[in-house]
Structure 1
């Protein structure tokens, strides 16, 4: 499932990379006269760089006309490409293997990069240089290791100086799926890092070839006319080290490919080689150090869990992994249920009776929830609805609530404002161990109060409650005479949402997490309910501050209302008062009685204008925290 626009681009890129690699492999082994090690070098680099690798192959190495390869590859810039191809094919392969293993092990990024460097250098030096090039270089394997060490060191340093910051910053940047080998983005970041590393290593490889320290492109043909001994013929730039006077392999003859071995007068001095080694080492150190100023290099793939951060969210080098996971988008692939567009939240959940106990079952899971036609959020929900089901009981009832966790992280439930046994309060790590994924916990207590209350998660609260884990708890008084009478009743549970670039993030009062959608009972206007009344009827509105980021001044048109209860406690008659706006802070509840004085459509809305928009746009006269009371004569 593709969850970000970049996923589609990567999919197309990898298809092109596959096609490019197949073509290069076919043409190399069918038409191009060069040693097998270079054939495989171009194949691997094209696999990593896709169409860019194909472009390099066609421009620098593919024989344009039969019999012209020797002449075609002579220019130094092409020889430099050949040398860099050979370097990247070996080094990048080691780096990729190490990156995948260290990611699966969950090692910190700073250790990851060090291991990648060691793996890349080891595979490049001992396999791709000393072993695969042994017949071309002549001498023993260990002589080749010694002669190849410094050129490989210079080339590897330059390449990793480019790869390290690209990989670290992008993997630990906004979309940390890039840290998981199971994700396409991981391979996309690796490809980009290899491309940058190739570009930085290229000029150093040109110098190494020009000085005879590394091989460039070569030609290897089978038995040819005039070749009396049936020996292979190879042409190209060749390694030049302390043992450059050694005999060539007995069955090979080498010739310069337009870049003859430098004369002793212009051969690289030890000082020049040491200077290049020192310079690329400084580049490498800088490439390793820079990410420490941008991202938290002490975290590994397991610490961030493939988190995707909201656009504009400020990430620093000391942002904890726990914070990243809490602020991250909900992975749409976790939503096992997609509610209908017309589905409503806060439905009253009938209890089942076990003896003298009312039993409720709540299941927390990830769902897709429609807040507007065409606008769906990935929510954390109780019983597949947002808000969760309304639990309605009577003062004095014994209740038992069985909570099952189907979320990707632990959770609990807190019964906001209730007087109950401490072990039933639901405060994670304080009064109970969190309910781990797949587990069930039973809350049981006797309800001693009456009024408007609500329940919500109390583990990872800033994430889970913002994503929908809350619901109304209405407790009717045991003595019905204590209930303030009204003709109709409506509960309004408020919430804020962040939906950007296809993903849902928990709303928080910080950069990048400020909400752009607002809901009443899980819907944004014009998808909110319409309350139908007649003139003279009284409406009890239960405002519930189930939201998490702001204070909402809720206003009702058509005349003042009477505030009759606050935070579940009924106000005595002398304390009740008239108002047309009441500020609902997170966690607060207000009961108000509004009388329909005149016919018409009267609005209920938040008096912060931004909160009555949908993604900053008004729709049909408003949006967000708004609904209509339709009063008939």
Structure 2
């Protein structure tokens, strides 16, 4: 499915690639007088390189007019394209097949690159060169293997030196869908890698064609075929090329005509048609082999300084990480999975824009216990106008439903995990049996996807608390797994009272390039949206009051990262409870700002002294914007107390 803007480009690219390939295939077999192996070479390369393969075919190989293929393909630069096409068709096919297989097998990227090189070299040497070219080269199969080994080695080294780094850097980059053969991005990286390999291999192939070490483009006009001609269409072409094209053109014509003359003939020795001064020497061939091998080693080793080649497709699972995240050669796969975006395809429910979080969850009574059913799942949640986030949610709302209890209650929570990863639930600040506390791998085994767990305990405290995940909480809590837990005291008179109550759960979100990432205090993870009860101003609630009324605001630091100095306009409030503990009257104090850190709770009572619209907001200005933009006078952690006379 489409998850990133590049997906649109990839769809368009592969449509063009298929259309280009279809045209090349049709034209090659219908109109172009060329050996079958070269026809398939251009078809495969066009499939891999799309419109660029078509461009190479039209400029270098497609017969412009009947009977002119020999003259048209004679220039050395075109012969070099033909040689590179032949190399890339065989080598890249082996590389791509190996990349797909190693990804499925879950092999590390470093081993993958080595296997890809071996597979590409073997496919190019043993299949495309020695087998498919056997009829044109003459001699036995193993003689051809021996003769083509060094040219293939040089060409393959150069191609993999270009292709390898492209694959390593892009597959191990931010969007690791590139490691999954089931994703378009994987094939897009392969296509770009083939183009890079072609560009790097081309000059070496030009040299080998010039030295008669490799075949270039060829013309096939065997008797009995529709392309057979009794004599060249332009008998003066050779004289014209010799007068105006120089040695390279003349050599190119010789090489082009060689394919027609020798097609089906006897053995031919590389370099045997060149004068001694131009024939390749052993030191020249050895130097070319050595240099391309050094290029290959550089191309394979260089990525290891920047990306973790020890990871496999299974280790990262096709994750997409936030823009700007810094990765290096020892970044673990678990880090990447932890910071990854929620894949939109995992969304099981899309909440309507009017949906609100922190809705009271009504329990049922079973054998004297209050029983709640809690389920975690992946949803799409509207935080502001047309702005949505993918979220991990309890009971399809962000924050999760409010659990209203009374001190002394026996509580049972039947929890079901519908997430794509394990999770748990922790009851923040409550004194509960250790096995009910929730930390994964410490007090309980994590609840796997599709699993269930029952939490049961007696409530011995009162005040403002909250519940949240305690399995990879830096990821899961940031994505929405939290909710309020409000416990009334046995004696109602023990609780400071107000005319109204409102619970404020804070959160930070990171939304970039259509995807939602867990906001974290690290490179690439800083939030750009902020919410109160799952909504960003101006979509936050408005509390309506009359002059003289009071409201108890329960601030809950359900966020992961920042200390939020929460400030109320219109006069000070009285701080009556901290972290669930009600303050004695002598310990209560007046303030207009409380610093709400992650995990902290403050109960404050504010009195409406004068009519008007009074703000509740974080006093860090950036946290009162939406993606750094103010809307209707604010944004993010902002809401209004609307007081009438």
Shared fold (TM-score greater than 0.5)?
A: yes
1:41 equivalent in structure 2: 41
Q: How far, CA to CA, are the matches of 2:253 and 2:422 in structure 1?
A: 65
| 1:521 is aligned to 2:539 | no
Alignment of 1:324-403 (within 5 A): 324-403=336-415
Closer/same/farther in 2, CA of residues 390 and 225 from structure 1, 3 Å limit: closer
1:243 equivalent in structure 2: none
2:525 is paired with a residue whose SS is coil
2:287 equivalent in structure 1: 275
1:220 equivalent in structure 2: 220
- Does the Cα contact within 8 Å between 2:569 and 2:616 map onto a contact in 1? yes
- Does the Cα contact within 8 Å between 1:214 and 1:238 map onto a contact in 2? no
- Does the Cα contact within 8 Å between 2:423 and 2:448 map onto a contact in 1? yes
Deviation at 1:610, TM superposition (A): 0.3
2:194 equivalent in structure 1: 194
Alignment of 1:530-545 (within 5 A): 530-545=542-557
Deviation at 1:263, TM superposition (A): 2.0
1:470 equivalent in structure 2: 482
- Does the Cα contact within 8 Å between 2:221 and 2:229 map onto a contact in 1? no
Q: How far, CA to CA, are the matches of 1:481 and 1:28 in structure 2?
A: 91
2:220 is paired with a residue whose SS is strand
- Does the Cα contact within 8 Å between 2:136 and 2:263 map onto a contact in 1? no
Closer/same/farther in 2, CA of residues 96 and 450 from structure 1, 3 Å limit: same
1:323 equivalent in structure 2: 335
- Does the Cα contact within 8 Å between 1:161 and 1:283 map onto a contact in 2? yes
1:144 is paired with a residue whose SS is helix
Q: How far, CA to CA, are the matches of 1:149 and 1:52 in structure 2?
A: 28
> Which sits farther off after the overlay, 299-308 or 38-47?
299-308
- Does the Cα contact within 8 Å between 1:520 and 1:528 map onto a contact in 2? yes
| 1:310 is aligned to 2:322 | yes
1:106 equivalent in structure 2: 106
- Does the Cα contact within 8 Å between 2:375 and 2:418 map onto a contact in 1? yes
2:211 equivalent in structure 1: 211
Structure 2: runs of 5+ lacking an equivalent: 232-251
1:177 is paired with a residue whose SS is helix
Normalising by the residue count of structure 2, what TM-score does the alignment of the two structures yield? 0.94
Aligned pair partner of 1:581 in 589, 593, 598: 593
For each residue in 1:59-117, what CA deviation from the matched residue of structure 2 results, as whole angstroms up to 9, or x when unmatched?
A: 00000000000111100000000000000000000000000011111110000000000
- Does the Cα contact within 8 Å between 1:214 and 1:239 map onto a contact in 2? no
For each residue in 1:154-181, what CA deviation from the matched residue of structure 2 results, as whole angstroms up to 9, or x when unmatched?
A: 0000000001110000000111110000
Q: How far, CA to CA, are the matches of 1:250 and 1:177 in structure 2?
A: 45
Deviation at 1:264, TM superposition (A): 3.2
Q: How far, CA to CA, are the matches of 2:207 and 2:222 in structure 1?
A: 30
Q: How far, CA to CA, are the matches of 2:264 and 2:374 in structure 1?
A: 79
2:561 is paired with a residue whose SS is coil
Q: How far, CA to CA, are the matches of 1:122 and 1:218 in structure 2?
A: 24
1:230 equivalent in structure 2: none
Aligned pair partner of 2:265 in 244, 252, 268: 252
Q: How far, CA to CA, are the matches of 1:585 and 1:225 in structure 2?
A: 87
- Does the Cα contact within 8 Å between 2:138 and 2:264 map onto a contact in 1? no
RMSD: 1.8
2:2 equivalent in structure 1: 2
Q: How far, CA to CA, are the matches of 1:21 and 1:250 in structure 2?
A: 26
- Does the Cα contact within 8 Å between 2:528 and 2:627 map onto a contact in 1? yes
1:265 equivalent in structure 2: 277
Q: How far, CA to CA, are the matches of 1:321 and 1:255 in structure 2?
A: 53
Closer/same/farther in 2, CA of residues 189 and 551 from structure 1, 3 Å limit: same
2:249 equivalent in structure 1: none
Alignment of 1:13-92 (within 5 A): 13-92=13-92
Q: How far, CA to CA, are the matches of 1:496 and 1:424 in structure 2?
A: 28
Q: How far, CA to CA, are the matches of 2:604 and 2:499 in structure 1?
A: 13
Q: How far, CA to CA, are the matches of 2:154 and 2:313 in structure 1?
A: 30
Deviation at 1:237, TM superposition (A): 3.0
Q: How far, CA to CA, are the matches of 1:220 and 1:260 in structure 2?
A: 22
Alignment of 1:112-261 (within 5 A): 112-223=112-223, 224-226=228-230, 237=255, 251-252=264-265, 261=273
Q: How far, CA to CA, are the matches of 1:26 and 1:603 in structure 2?
A: 70
1:244 equivalent in structure 2: none
Deviation at 1:280, TM superposition (A): 0.3
For each residue in 1:166-202, what CA deviation from the matched residue of structure 2 results, as whole angstroms up to 9, or x when unmatched?
A: 0000000111110000110000000000000000000
Deviation at 1:313, TM superposition (A): 1.2
- Does the Cα contact within 8 Å between 1:218 and 1:236 map onto a contact in 2? no
For each residue in 1:229-262, what CA deviation from the matched residue of structure 2 results, as whole angstroms up to 9, or x when unmatched?
A: xxxxx9873899xxxxxxx979438999xx9932
Normalising by the residue count of structure 1, what TM-score does the alignment of the two structures yield? 0.96
Q: How far, CA to CA, are the matches of 2:262 and 2:83 in structure 1?
A: 21
Q: How far, CA to CA, are the matches of 1:267 and 1:435 in structure 2?
A: 71
Matched residues, number: 618
For each residue in 1:557-615, what CA deviation from the matched residue of structure 2 results, as whole angstroms up to 9, or x when unmatched?
A: 01000000000000111111000000000000000000111111110000000000000
Structure 1: runs of 5+ lacking an equivalent: 228-233, 241-247
For each residue in 1:102-156, what CA deviation from the matched residue of structure 2 results, as whole angstroms up to 9, or x when unmatched?
A: 1111110000000000000000000000000001000000000000000000000
